[in-house]
Structure 1
Amino acid sequence: MNDADVSKQIQQMVRFIRQEAEEKANEISVSAEEEFNIEKLQLVEAEKKKIRQEYERKEKQVEVRRKIEYSMQLNASRIKVLQAQDDVVNSMKDAAAKELLNVSHDHHVYRKLLKELIVQSLLRLKEPAVLLRCRKEDLNHVEHVVHSAKEEYADKAKVHAPEIVVDSIYLPAAPSHHNAHGPFCSGGIVLASRDGKIVFENSLDARLDVVFRKKLPEIRKQLFGQVAV
């Protein structure tokens, strides 16, 4: 083989190597492009997922805040309704308390009431000796009925007539413009055992409180009905 043949064969080998290299380079380039596209797609999808998750998180936060705000507004409305209802009920009780002041104006009727209150209190206490407290302005009325009251109690309870001592300390007077915010009593009596361990408050104001507590559900139903708040 002469020099020309050797040179020709070398050139063929070079072309073949170059072609192989180009094909391999092209294959590497295509493979790299594919890997790049796959990785890019994965990154894009991952970012999309993060964005969706962030959006869902913020959407849930907004929904929670909306529910909290709605609940707060609903509770505020309920409180306003209940407060308005309480104001109405309390105004009724205040009106009733003012009417109590008129009870003692009719002496005949009031003395009869005082006697009934004393008898009722004696029946509750069932003590042989008691201490009776009343308003200073009611002292004359009480002294007028106390004997007949204890005799009536003795007859009803089938016991000896008890000893009733009228206390020298009096219940507060009726409310007035001069003492609008101090303690007051609209009438009635308070009875206690002589040792003071048992006390039965039978003043008109105490009876009004008892009636209102007992009748409050009925009062609310009549005033407001079955109001859902």
Structure 2
Amino acid sequence: MNDGDVSKQIQQMVTFIHQEAEEKANEISVCAEEEFNIEKLQLVEAEKKKIRQEYERKAKQVQVRKKIEYSMQLNASRIKFLQAQDDIVNAMKETASKELLRVSDDQNAYTYKKLLQAFSDDKNAYNYKKLLQALIVQSLLRLKESSVLLRCREMDKKVVESVLEDSKREYVEKANLRAPAITIDKVYLPPPPSGSEQHGPSCSGGVVIASQDGKIVCENTLDARLDVAFRQKLPQIRKHLFG
């Protein structure tokens, strides 16, 4: 084999090796491109998933905030509504409380008639004097003590003194017990409210009777009676006004 043949054979081998290397390089390049594309898609999908999760999380936060704000606004509206109802009911009570101040005026006979229907058997006689007597008798019947202490407004003292004996007799008839000893307390109930002291202690009338030891107290003032009636009738008042 001469040098030409050897050189030709070597050139063929070199060409073959180059061709095989190029094919291998192309194969590696294709595989690398495929792996790159797969990895890129995986990374893109992973990032898309993160973005979707973040969006869903923020969307839920927005929904929660909206629900909280709606609930707060709803509660605030309910509070305002209930406050408005309370204002109306309290205004009614305030009006009734002002009406009580007219009870000590003997000219308001209709009011006495309504009040005495709950206290007295005499439906035809009604004035503040009769009302005080009815309140005293009712308190005595509640306590049934042999000796009691009576507290009234200073302006009502003479009227109270004038009905004590009649009150005792009525008590004896109804309770079938001995007449109790009644002592008028030297500490008086507050006077009716005046224009200058609307929020101070006041009393529209009536009496407070207690046992001598002070352990049992029957508060039978007109204001106390109004409070009791108001609490008892409050459900009916609300139903009538607001349904």
**TM bucket normalised to smaller:** over 0.9
Residue 197 of structure 1 aligns to which amino acid in structure 2? K
Deviations 1:69-107 (A, max 9, x none): 111111111111111111111111111111111111118
Residue 171 of structure 1 aligns to which amino acid in structure 2? L
Instruction: Note the C-alpha offset of 1:150.
Output: 2.0
**1:106 and 2:106 aligned:** yes
Residue 205 of structure 1 aligns to which amino acid in structure 2? D
**1:120 and 2:138 aligned:** yes
Deviations 1:158-201 (A, max 9, x none): 21111111111110111112332211100000011101111111
The answer for the alignment partner of 2:74 in structure 1 is: 74
Residue 74 of structure 1 aligns to which amino acid in structure 2? L
SS at match of 1:26: helix
The answer for the alignment partner of 2:237 in structure 1 is: 219
Q: Matched residues in 1 for 2:141 and 2:16: separation?
A: 129
User: Structure 1 length normalisation: TM-score?
Assistant: 0.95
The answer for the alignment partner of 2:118 in structure 1 is: none
The answer for the alignment partner of 1:88 in structure 2 is: 88
Instruction: Note the C-alpha offset of 1:151.
Output: 2.1
The answer for the alignment partner of 2:44 in structure 1 is: 44
Q: Matched residues in 1 for 2:169 and 2:4: separation?
A: 159
Q: Matched residues in 2 for 1:5 and 1:57: separation?
A: 77
Q: Matched residues in 2 for 1:2 and 1:150: separation?
A: 161
Q: Which moved more, 1:61-70 or 1:152-161?
A: 152-161
> Where do 1:142-157 residues align within 5 Å?
142-157=160-175
Q: Matched residues in 2 for 1:29 and 1:126: separation?
A: 113
Q: Give the gaps of 5 or more residues in structure 2.
A: 108-125
Higher RCO structure (Cα 8 Å, ≥6 apart): 1
1:4 to 1:211, Cα distance in 2 relative to 1, 3 A: same
> Where do 1:1-229 residues align within 5 Å?
1-106=1-106, 109-225=127-243
Instruction: Note the C-alpha offset of 1:29.
Output: 0.1
User: Structure 2 length normalisation: TM-score?
Assistant: 0.89
* Percent identical: 73
Q: Matched residues in 2 for 1:134 and 1:84: separation?
A: 36
Q: Matched residues in 2 for 1:45 and 1:90: separation?
A: 66
Q: Matched residues in 2 for 1:96 and 1:52: separation?
A: 65
- In the TM superposition, structure 1's runs of 4+ consecutive aligned residues that sit over 6 Å from their partners are none
SS at match of 1:197: coil
Deviations 1:122-159 (A, max 9, x none): 12112111100000111111111112212222222221
Deviations 1:14-38 (A, max 9, x none): 1111111001000000000000000
Q: Matched residues in 1 for 2:191 and 2:143: separation?
A: 25
Q: Matched residues in 2 for 1:177 and 1:106: separation?
A: 21
Q: Give the gaps of 5 or more residues in structure 1.
A: none
RMSD across aligned positions (CA) = 1.2
SS at match of 1:103: coil
